[in-house]
Structure 1
Amino acid sequence: MTRTPATPRVGEDVTSARLFVALGDSFTEGVGDPDARLPNGVRGWADRVAEKLAKAEPGWRYANLAVRSKRIREVVTDQLDAALRLHPTLITLYAGGNDVLDPGTEIRSILEDYERLVKALSETGATLLLFTGYDVPLYPVVWLFRRRNHAYNEGVRRIAQKYGATLVDYWTFDGYQDRRMWSADRLHLSKFGHKLLAARVLDVLAVRHSITPKQFDALESRSTSRWLADQGQWVHDWVVPLLHRKIRRVTLGDWTEPRWPHPVEVPPKGGLRRLMRERAEGTRE
């Protein structure tokens, strides 16, 4: 199935409003990339993409509806209608990672929900970007989920082709083999990981940018005792709290709001941090 977009494509010389709407979970919310000056205390790849779009073509507006921990069905319930009402010209969607990590959920069911979501978004005529999922290299048990992740990725590729979406094949990005691309929880991208992804998304959109991915020195080898200590610290800081939340059937997203629920015009100079500074100054006046 192919479609002819009813709205302007990224990079076209048009005078109509340009609106980028990001949907999904913690991956798109920006978890792992802390910035106290911005909503929810994070920044992330989507903010960076919005800023570079506005720098290349002033007038871009941006809304980010993504919330950490959300499953596909929650994206449908909480984000889809809100996104459709905004009439975006560019949409990014990453959803399904949390579903894949739920062993009790069948991949077929995940992809059925995912396809219904993509179909609805594709009918807006906006440029639609979809993402495969990465085989996170740092989780000791992640190999248990790789087969599920690969099946999910094949489904995403098929659905992207079927609905004329643009694929960001995140699974193929070798740079994420370095553990410094990941935050301390070993599941979310670090600041460096978010910057690299922003650069890759902008490349896919053929938008000129100045984001330079971090070039790391070689990692120092760790002794067995240091490695064991690191594992113990990780389990204490991240695994145990996660298990407690699962036992209580709560998620971090239960008390988290979208970062940019209403479209904001992104300043070409200074970006979203400048916008927040101007808002704060206006509040004090």
Structure 2
Amino acid sequence: MLRWNSLVSLGDSFTEGMDDPGPGDSYVGWADRLAGMIAQRAPEFRYANLAVRGKMLQEIIDDQVPLAMSLKPDLVTFCGGGNDIMLPNSDPDALAEVYEVAVAELRSTGCDVVIFTGFDTRSTPLLRSIRGKVAIYNTHLWSIAERYHCRMVDLWAMHPLHDRRAWSEDRLHLSPEGHQRVALKAAEVLGLIDDQSWNEPWPALQQTDWVTQRKADLKWAREHVVPWIGRTLRGESMGDGLAPKRPELLPMARCSDESHVVN
């Protein structure tokens, strides 16, 4: 018998599920997939996903944490700070202090909390420059997890995520297969599975030549990085005006509606 009958997921685009397409204009993502796995083991299970793309850490804390606490779930997943870290003037030490206050508030309700390290950006052009800040932030997150007895999903150490097939075209959001890997890793952390299926090797991939790869990098920067910088400078976000996709604790759909769920 599982100890969790309810899950609330908090965060930004990573937890909302971009770019893992679902019905209509919605996204699935690792959190929905994980919720489906829990629901198959807990008949009374309910799930809410409050994550909204583009949100900064303080916005997640201000908008999502109080609502999550009011829902009184057994389990919370909390990931934030990635959008902040990408800003040139961001301070990972200060971000971690804000993050810790939110974790303390969540844990004070008695729920279990799962947190996530940041990704290792060494394989992504331009984002390599923030790798040191991500590492500092991660060090703080590990300490927070220990102090507040949180479970940790170590995205930094997930080597399968260094493969470009784990990422969508924008290289900022996971592909469906990338979300699947994270869902399986989270399931392992929660003790739902006892294998390392998230770590299965990718099929062999034909290598592209240097010139082709550089052209692809330039195209990516022009189509995805430059627009992101522009939105940031204007104080805009992809999530402006958007509501959470699952704002209430509701039972998970069954059977055909869960065809996207990873077993």
TM-score of the aligned structures, taking structure 2 as reference length: 0.91
**Displacement after TM superposition at 1:217 (Å):** 2.1
- 1:46 to 2:31 alignment: yes
CA distance in 1, matches of 2:61, 2:205: 41
* Conserved 8 A contact 1:23-1:65: yes
The 5 Å alignment of 1:89-168 reads 89-168=74-153
**Superposition RMSD on alpha carbons, in Å?**
2.2
User: Are positions 1:221 and 2:207 aligned together?
Assistant: yes
Q: Residue 122 of structure 1: CA displacement?
A: 0.6
Q: C-alpha separation between the residues in 1 aligned to 2:175 and 2:181?
A: 10
Match for 1:249: what amino acid? G
Question: Counterpart of 1:266?
Answer: 252
% identical aligned pairs: 35
Cα distance in 2 for residues equivalent to 1:56 and 1:268: 12
Instruction: Give 1:183's aligned residue.
Output: 168
Q: CA deviation at 1:240?
A: 2.3
Q: Distance in 1 between matches of 2:195 and 2:153?
A: 19
SS across alignment from 1:129:
strand
Q: Which structure 1 residue ranges, 5 or more long, are not aligned?
A: 1-9, 275-285
| 8 A Cα contact 1:138 1:186, kept in partner | no
1:177 positional shift: 1.3
- Say if 1:103 and 1:244 are closer, same or farther in 2 by CA, change over 3 A: closer
The corresponding residue for 1:196 is 181
Is the counterpart of residue 85 in structure 1 residue 76 in structure 2? no
* Structure 2 Cα separation of the partners of residues 43 and 161 of structure 1: 30
1: CA distance, partners of 2:194 / 2:31: 14
In our comparison, the structure showing a higher alpha carbon Rg is 1
State the shift of 1:244 in Å: 2.2
Q: How many pairs does the alignment contain?
A: 259
TM-score (norm 1): 0.85
Verify the 8 A CA contact 2:165 2:175 in the aligned structure 1.
Answer: yes
Give the equivalent residue in structure 2 for 1:11: 2
Q: Is the 8 A contact 1:55 1:269 kept in 2?
A: no
Gaps of 5+ in 2: none
The alpha-carbon distance between structure 1 residues 262 and 94, as it changes in their structure 2 partners (threshold 3 A), is same
